[in-house]
Structure 1
Amino acid sequence: MSQTLPTPRFDTFPRYEELTQLLFAYAQARPNLVSVRSIGKSHEGRDIWIAVLTNTATGADLDKPAFWADGNIHAAELTACTTCLYYLHDLLSRYGADAQVTQLLDTRVVYLVPRLNPDGAELALAERPRHIRSSTRRYPYDEEPVDGLCIEDVDGDGRILTMRVPDPHGGYKKHDGDPRLMVPREPGEFGGEYYRLMPEGFIRNHDGLTIQVNRDPEGLDLNRNFPADWRQEFQQTGAGPYPTSEPEVRAMVDFITGHPNIGAAISFHTYSGVILRPCGTRSDDDMTPEDLWSYKRFSQLGEKATGYPAISIWHDFKYHPKETVSGTQDWVYEHLGALFWVVELWSPNREAGIEGYKWIDWFRDHPVEDDLKLLAWSDQQCDGQAHVDWRPFLHPQLGAVEIGGWDKMNYWRNPPPQLREREAARFPAWMNQIALSLPRLELLRTEVRALGPDSWRVRLAVANSGYLSAAVTARAREREVVRGVMFEILLPPDPEVSLIGGRPRFEGPHLEGHGPKSSQLNFLPTEHITGDRAVAEWIVRAPKGTRVSLSAHAARAGTVRTEVTLD
């Protein structure tokens, strides 16, 4: 008997124990639709939970095409976890009432990992938080810094802000129109009141003159630890000592490679308010055209459903014009040939009415008018908390300073509480559309024809009812990570029964999907009108009335099984 679904709060971020209890409460309320498993343990020994969503009455998850979504691989990007939880709740709430969701969970499976990095999230949610990039494992060196500024919450208010210190050689000054706002000193400018700005933190072995900001001793970036285009630390900060060296990444890689039914995936991050598509390491001109067209088609659907622009990582989202960015998206698409997107949730710029900004470039340089818009947004929409008023503080090493400025954790890396559910609610419709476009193997018909008193021709016809091909991408076929439809016949262990024509198991063709390859006005003739269908045939010697089992399997399109009686 079904129980009432949990009612999660999407305006707060759950700690690990609360998240665990919530996931198991969903499984208890809808055991026919969701189960919770551990895909591995984190560096500190926490289970990394996955929610498996499918109607178990219509088959096991491995027999169905699958969609993967994960969040919170980066410690402080907590809205990514919220978005996965929102999707979980939305699917379970709508099943049985919404035809699309019901069709999805009856015919496909969704694998959801709300928090891939539980250790880092716990640190970000601590009473005195620290906002590291990813894992809490010390890297590349297991030692404390001997000097320099260590970023942390020095005044105990639960936030990590900015310290400003008066200094005639400082590079910042108060804005003339609003002294709360610190703006860069102009080239050649002298004679004013200037400040040095530095992250909130304590300084070890301060000499009274020089300050360097220490890198976090936990210097890993789990998103740089995936196998595709892995590069050493001097080329990719946080990459780890070798690909999949980190247990969180290894757990994800092991699960996905052990579940070849996964044909599409999304990884949620924060922030920028964009949908990022591959490739991260090469241009569109170097991609397989058919895959690029598919990516653009589904990305446009994402733009329409979410309001987020969809852009190329290589062309539009580099941290530096001379660098490439690799990670989950490269491994899932480049190595496995599954569709993959990274979603950077949340754009404070857009909330403040800033339009036409260039994603990464904006952080390097932008007009002061943008800062004023953001300050007005803080005042009017965030009760003045996105930009915290400066207040005096007696720093143990620096003396009299002021602490304030932008609260990057709660208003930049993540939306303010009242907007978190709204951001998460943008995505279920698009994810449903992707999942329902995955290939799906269906039984068309079986045929049994007598060829003699004890010989029979047996035929099994199947079709791919999905929009996408059974391989999902051309890349998957290029990399030979998928096979065509595998047909198999199982005969009863009877000496009077034998296979006299055909092989007991063989590979059939790769099945196309029903997605059109071109418009109706294409001047080239269409090939393979029934490229979505395949037929297997065997000749069996057996007494009349014998039952034989038939099956067809395509890794990303699922499995069909049936029995026929020879009569």
Structure 2
Amino acid sequence: MRPHTPRTRKSHGRWAAATGAALLTLAMAAPASSHGADRPDRSNGTRTDGTHADEIRANDTRSYEVAGPRTAAQRTAVAATGVSVDAVRKDSVVVTADAAQAGRLRAMGYRVTALPGTPDRGRAARPYDFPPADSKYHNYARAMAEIDADLAAYPSLMSKQVIGKSYEGRDIIAVKVTNGSATTDAAKPEVLFTHHQHAREHLTVEMALYLLKEFGSQYGKDARVTKMLDSRVVWIVPDVNPDGGEYDIATGTYRGWRKNRQPNAGSNSRGTDTNRNWDYKWGCCGGSSGSTGSETYRGSGPESAPEVKVVADFVRSRVVGGKQQIKAAIDFHTYSELVLWPFGWTYDDTAPGMTQDDRDAFAAVGKSMAASNGYTPEQSSDLYITDGSIDDWLWGNQKVFAYTFEMYPDASGAGGGFYPPASVIDREVARNREAVLQLLENADCMYRSIGKEQQYCS
């Protein structure tokens, strides 16, 4: 488990605000860039070997450890350079950055050390597949085939909807898991599990496949699973960013790609960070980048990424009779072993749209889930400020109790960072079984966790 970062928001006050503002000003003084960055295209778009310009530039980024940032305000200033903050350690952060961004971080007074690149586990025999040592991971085609097999095996429990298309035209699906008819389903609380917003976070697709298999195989055998599928509607969106995921493994090795594959007008760069593109506090607070080349580019406007709009439209479609049927959610990511809850856009525990009781219910359930899987529980902004994230949107716009799970490994990255070996898949997805069941059990009244069921849920 990563060293816990002490929560200092209550002591921030004006000092933290001033410090954060000063650091943000310094960090944002130079234009941010990253893989796919806005820079002259010396290859004229495509090289003779068929490699596109943004593929070449993707190789310009790498992981760095940045020693020195210890507070959320300092980490927010680091993120404001356009890097992605990949892990938060006790006295440092791990970022994905290009050489220019690394230079700017050094100019801010931090010690910046290059880390090893993506793991070399051989090259797949065919494109758009995982290296041989990681062949247990599912590419898009294999994942869809696995899901179709589950649908055929458990037709009374599962059904599939194509809820939209990715930029490159791949199906984005939602699998409904419940036991009952449309009439009985209407009275059940709904719970949403989303996966794979960031392309290189392939373990999250395996999490989705595990949940489907576990729900199907254990219904009628495990009392808790049976009760939950009798009394809840579960929605699983296994792949929010299929284009990015396929691009990450297109050469049969790993590219370290994060964003989607949407072109950006007037730029050689490609891709939007889907988890900065949601329509709540979008671009509000220094928690994303306006530079198309940044790892955290927020897009040209909220929901400008087609994949985000598809999932947001699906969530909005679950408003029935003026009431949102989805009551709770988990968005799965890697890595750092964290359970996070909103808000990400402010350091404050409570803010417009978040009462003390809301916050306390979030924290109570979050801490209980974290106790079951060994993750660290905290408010998202305890790490650094983010804006336009799915959890802030789900709560701030739809009043869904939404969490982010950052899966294995811990913040040390010793288990493989974004690319843990296939040998850990079974262990690490099963590690979240209890937490998922706890969220399902709490979904009908999250305020029960703080003893206020009568006040809020009667």
User: Which residue is 1:80 aligned to?
Assistant: 204
* Range moving further from structure 2, 282-291 or 74-83: 282-291
Secondary structure at the residue paired with 1:268?
strand
What does 1:418-437 correspond to in 2, within 5 Å? 418-437=423-442
Check 1:263–1:10 CA distance in 2 against 1; reply closer, same or farther (3 A cut).
Answer: farther
What does 1:53-64 correspond to in 2, within 5 Å? 53-57=177-181, 59=183, 61-64=185-188
What does 1:485-564 correspond to in 2, within 5 Å? 516-517=451-452, 533=458
Task: Compute the displacement of 1:515 (Å).
Answer: 6.2
Task: Compute the displacement of 1:346 (Å).
Answer: 1.3
Secondary structure at the residue paired with 2:417?
helix
Greater strand fraction, Structure 1 or Structure 2: 1
Q: 1:333 touches 1:340 (CA, 8 Å); kept in 2?
A: yes
Please say if 1:252 is aligned against 2:311.
yes
Q: 2:290 touches 2:298 (CA, 8 Å); kept in 1?
A: no
Task: Compute the displacement of 1:70 (Å).
Answer: 0.8
Q: Which entry has the higher C-alpha Rg, 1 or 2? A: 1
Identical aligned residues as a percent: 30
Candidates 332, 340, 353, aligned match of 1:268 = 332
CA deviation digits over 1:396-454, x for unaligned, max 9?
Answer: xxxxxxxxxxxxxxx21032111122111111211112112222xxxxxxxxxxxxxxx
Higher relative contact order (CA 8 A, sep 6+): 2
Q: TM-score, normalised by structure 1?
A: 0.51
* CA distance in 1: counterparts of 2:438 and 2:139, whole angstroms: 31
User: Which residue is 1:401 aligned to?
Assistant: none
* CA distance in 2: counterparts of 1:299 and 1:16, whole angstroms: 31
Please say if 1:292 is aligned against 2:297.
no
* CA distance in 2: counterparts of 1:10 and 1:102, whole angstroms: 33
* CA distance in 2: counterparts of 1:103 and 1:348, whole angstroms: 32
Candidates 235, 239, 246, aligned match of 1:115 = 239
Q: TM-score, normalised by structure 2?
A: 0.63
User: Which residue is 2:163 aligned to?
Assistant: 39
Q: 1:42 touches 1:119 (CA, 8 Å); kept in 2?
A: yes
User: Which residue is 1:49 aligned to?
Assistant: 173
Task: Compute the displacement of 1:99 (Å).
Answer: 0.9
Letter in structure 1 aligned against 2:281:
D
Secondary structure at the residue paired with 1:271?
strand
Q: In the comparison of the two structures, how many residue pairs are matched?
A: 310
Check 1:351–1:224 CA distance in 2 against 1; reply closer, same or farther (3 A cut).
Answer: closer
Candidates 263, 271, 277, aligned match of 2:341 = 277
Please say if 1:239 is aligned against 2:244.
no
User: Which residue is 2:67 aligned to?
Assistant: none
CA RMSD for the aligned pairs? 2.6
Q: 1:32 touches 1:55 (CA, 8 Å); kept in 2?
A: yes
* CA distance in 1: counterparts of 2:242 and 2:225, whole angstroms: 29
Letter in structure 1 aligned against 2:443:
L
Task: Compute the displacement of 1:350 (Å).
Answer: 5.5
* CA distance in 1: counterparts of 2:413 and 2:312, whole angstroms: 36
Secondary structure at the residue paired with 2:359?
helix
What does 1:377-416 correspond to in 2, within 5 Å? 411-416=416-421
* CA distance in 1: counterparts of 2:330 and 2:277, whole angstroms: 17
Task: Compute the displacement of 1:290 (Å).
Answer: 0.2
Please say if 1:335 is aligned against 2:402.
no
Q: 2:339 touches 2:376 (CA, 8 Å); kept in 1?
A: yes
* Range moving further from structure 2, 115-124 or 126-135: 126-135
Q: 1:274 touches 1:344 (CA, 8 Å); kept in 2?
A: yes
What does 1:320-331 correspond to in 2, within 5 Å? 323-331=385-393
* CA distance in 1: counterparts of 2:340 and 2:449, whole angstroms: 26
Check 1:106–1:254 CA distance in 2 against 1; reply closer, same or farther (3 A cut).
Answer: same
User: Which residue is 1:453 aligned to?
Assistant: none
* CA distance in 2: counterparts of 1:30 and 1:268, whole angstroms: 24
CA deviation digits over 1:291-344, x for unaligned, max 9?
Answer: 1110111011112111001111112x11xxxx5444001100111111011111
Letter in structure 1 aligned against 2:201:
E
Greater helix fraction, Structure 1 or Structure 2: 2
* CA distance in 2: counterparts of 1:340 and 1:514, whole angstroms: 15
Check 1:272–1:98 CA distance in 2 against 1; reply closer, same or farther (3 A cut).
Answer: same
